[in-house]
A and B are shown apart, each in its own frame.
Chain A
Amino acid sequence: DTAVSQTPKYLVTQMGNDKSIKCEQNLGHDTMYWYKQDSKKFLKIMFSYNNKELIINETVPNRFSPKSPDKAHLNLHINSLELGDSAVYFCASSQSRGIYEQYFGPGTRLTVT
């Protein structure tokens, strides 16, 4: 019944490693997003996909690569992890692009040591 799900919920890893976060939505939405929330709770858009097509890429380092195999899934792969990547990453979806009502997943707390 979960609308937007993410795995894993917690991720602890060392600098330099590569990791992935997976996201799935069962709402039938066309648009999915990745957000980063830092320790001060600033919530910032990273990427947005509409029907598997990348429509927003907000000056995110190349180490971050999103992939959308279909419109229900949006994964985030991070290469060469750095300390500053430690944050909570939220996946979200909306019925279509530009829609103000977004549904967020539970978040993935990434800790880089």
Chain B
Amino acid sequence: GQSLEQPSEVTAVEGAIVQINCTYQTSGFYGLSWYQQHDGGAPTFLSYNALDGLEETGRFSSFLSRSDSYGYLLLQELQMKDSASYFCAVTPGNMLTFGGGTRLMVKP
């Protein structure tokens, strides 16, 4: 089976940098994805790491260490609109298995 651990809640101020960690245990692994979900909205894809290292997309970066079964999402220059839940997900095969989500609250 698969299990993913991520903090339930993180708070940061506007303009700051925040890191959301994710550790996983899975019987098969192809990569680690990140999704963003605003309250009342649908999950939207942010990033994917199949190989070790850092992937950067604008203000967001995602990191993966396969040997440590660990990854993180880094959000820079935080904006109020970044307040949302962030989910890591593993792809062991034909499907995505999601972590419990991290609620990010950005304060002025």
With A48-B94, A100-B33, A100-B48 as known contacts, state yes or no: A107 contacts B89, CB within 8 Å.
no
B48: chain A residues at CB < 8 Å are 100-101
A selection of 15 A-B contacts at a CB cut-off of 8 Å is A41-B37, A43-B101, A45-B97, A90-B43, A97-B94, A98-B30, A98-B91, A98-B95, A100-B30, A100-B33, A100-B45, A100-B48, A101-B45, A102-B45, A104-B42
Question: Taking the nearest CB of chain B, how far is it from the CB of A50, in angstroms?
Answer: 8
| Chain A residues positioned under 8 Å from B44 (CB to CB) | 104
Query: Could you say which residues of chain A place their CB within 8 Å of the CB of B93?
Result: 98
Size range of the interface on B?
Answer: 20 to 34
Indicate if the CB atoms of A43 and B98 lie closer than 8 Å: yes
CB-CB under 8 A from A105, the residues of chain B are 42
Interface positions, chain B 50-108, Cβ under 8 Å from A, are 85, 87, 89, 91, 93-98, 100-101
Residues from chain A with a CB closer than 8 A to the CB of B30 are 98, 100
Supposing A41-B85, A41-B101, A43-B87 touch, asked if A100 and B96 sit within 8 A by C-beta, the answer is yes
Interface band, chain A: 20 to 34
Q: Is B31 an interface residue (CB 8 A)?
A: yes
Among residues of A, the one whose C-beta sits closest to the C-beta of B85 is A41
Nearest 10 CB-CB pairings of A with B: A104-B42, A43-B98, A100-B33, A100-B48, A101-B45, A100-B91, A41-B101, A104-B43, A97-B94, A45-B95
